[in-house]
Amino acid sequence: MQKHNCRGGQRANPPSSSGASPTTESRNPRSMNLDMLDTEGILTLINSEDQKVAQAVAQEIPNITQAVDMIAERLDLGGRLFYVGAGTSGRLGVLDLAELKPTFGVGRDKVEAIIAGGPPAITESVEDAEDNFDGGGEELQKRGISDKDVVVGIAASGSTPFVLGALKTAREAGAATIGLACNSPSKLRECADVSIEVVVGPEVLTGSTRMKAGTAQKMVLNMMSTAAMVKLGKAYENLMVDMQATNIKLRRRAVGMVKATTGVTDDEAQRLLDAAQFDLKTAIVMGKLNVDQPTAKQLLADAKGFVRTAIANGQR
């Protein structure tokens, strides 16, 4: 079902002048003798190509910036963030958002990844699911997509019908839309308010977009979600202060964070965390200002969860 009629927004960078042939499907002249290389030669070639990825991502920072600001704004206003993808792109979306709850305390009520073919497609190939143009939109409609939300469509080719259909439905609902592709210009651009097109060039193994394209997508998704969470006050200095301390390793990390930010001993850090019911932000504010738990919680509430602001207000 190859249908879409979206009209996209403006890119921060001028469009590429590349031809119509998708870069992700082109053959890489550097790897034409891939099957003749020894093991070290194969690995050296792959590594050499991988080094191009970060540079390609850097070229898209102006567009990634727009995307992050859009995501943070919608989440701050009570909206939700959806990632939509198929195959490798969908799995990378699942991976990125699955980490947001333990890292930032943000769960599926605020962020959710949708993959063509549903949960079975996370571990097994359901390749024909990506051709269902209406499927992506139907998944968003099931979740009550609205004008408060933001949807990121992820497709290395930039033309996956499932993803295009999701963005079309999202735009019709008034949601903000972002496209992440590895071709330029891509069809995703026509369906997105902001388009991110990271052109990493042909893969070492022709068409295997789990390689450079997948690496680029993972980098961008990590950048977007991390930066958005920082802008929402979920970091203090460079610490993940909304982390959920759900196991021994993370509880030890929490003690280390309180100790590092307040200068107290291990025992005092543990006492502060216990008094704060293991809420890291509260424990840090208590330790920095020498205040009780109710006072620290009120300071944080007044500061909308930003630890640095809460501490500054408490020192006045």
Residue 11 lies in a domain: no
Q: Which of 137 and 2 is assigned the larger pLDDT?
A: 137
Same-domain status, 72 and 161: yes
Q: Is the pTM of this model over 0.85?
A: yes
Boundaries of domain holding 300: 248-314
Alpha-carbon dihedral sign for residues 204, 124, 217, 85:
positive
Same-domain status, 184 and 298: no
Residue 16 lies in a domain: no
Q: How confident is the model at residue 316 (pLDDT cuts 50, 70, 90)?
A: confident
- CATH code of 275's domain: 1.10.8.1080
Active site residues: 99, 130
Residue 10 has pLDDT above 60, yes or no: no
Domain stop point among 187, 205, 231: 231
Mean per-residue pLDDT for 199-210? Answer: 95
Residue 16 has pLDDT above 50, yes or no: no
Same-domain status, 134 and 264: no
Residue 240 lies in a domain: no
Report d(CA 239, CA 224) in Å as an integer: 17
Residue 66's pLDDT is what?
98
Same-domain status, 214 and 307: no
Residue 243 lies in a domain: no
Residue 12 has pLDDT above 70, yes or no: no
Q: Which residue, among 7, 75, 52, has the nearest Cα to 224 in the 3D structure? A: 75
Instruction: Name the token pair of 148.
Output: 């408060």
Same-domain status, 185 and 214: yes
Q: How confident is the model at residue 15 (pLDDT cuts 50, 70, 90)?
A: very low
What digits encode the pLDDT tens for the residues 37-51? 999 999 999 999 999
Residue 14 lies in a domain: no
Residue 21's pLDDT is what?
65
Q: Which residue, among 298, 101, 24, 68, has the nearest Cα to 196 in the 3D structure? A: 68
pLDDT over 70 for what percent of the chain? 93
Residue 13 lies in a domain: no
